[in-house]
Amino acid sequence: MRVTLLSYTRDAERLCASAAHSCYSNKGASELMEEWDEAKGKRWLGSPLASGHHSVIEHASYTFSIEGCSRSMSHQLVRHRIASYSQLSQRYVSMKDAEYVTPASIAADPELERRYRELMGRIWDEYRFLSQKVPAEDARYVLPNACTTNITVTMNARELWHFFELRTCRRAQTEIREVADEMLRLARGASPLIFKNAGPPCVSRGKCPEGKMSCGKPRTELKQ
């Protein structure tokens, strides 16, 4: 699996900080952008983010390519509705070669891995047989959640914050947590001020809201 940051709003921190400060200044964002420097940016943006006023970072957007992930993971990803997605079509792209994700818990056990691999082989045998008899969009019904896919996703910074709170949590499913961790790393590299405190609630809020469902292990390694 590979995660790539394809594009993002240039000067995102300058833009969002100026937009945020324009709420408290008689100057417009265009003038404030000319005055912006890193020290002002930390003040102008740090205060609203610390107060939970994340609407000001909606002005910045980030586009990622996620390649070689499972359809199981992509189905979880698209539940985040404030986003734009473009995904590999199983109707128009040949799926005749068996490409699938093997969860680490299965790969760790030789017997489970053998049974899993044999099952995948049988599934693709049936898919290839069916695809000779019926349209590809019908043959694909037998393909598993493990089937690999590629998906492009664009989110604004506020939705990314929400995504990171849910999906970098230890309680998130392993594959989407790995995707979210890498997306967070890339987003921080592009906009360190915006995403400085992004992560699961134990990082972003300093406490876990899960109650008795909490894992009890704050992800301190994600703190910047």
Catalytic residue among 167, 171, 188, 205: 167
Q: Which residues pair with 65 in a beta bridge?
A: 4, 152
Residues facing residue 66 across a β-bridge = 3, 151
DSSP, residue by residue, 67-126? EEEEHHHHHHHTT--SSEEEE--TTTS---S--B---HHHHTSHHHHHHHHHHHHHHHHH
Alpha helices by DSSP H, the chain: 12-21, 29-35, 38-50, 71-77, 104-107, 110-131, 136-139, 157-167, 174-190, 201-204
Q: Would residue 219 show up in a list of annotated catalytic residues for this protein?
A: no
Q: Which residues are catalytic?
A: 167
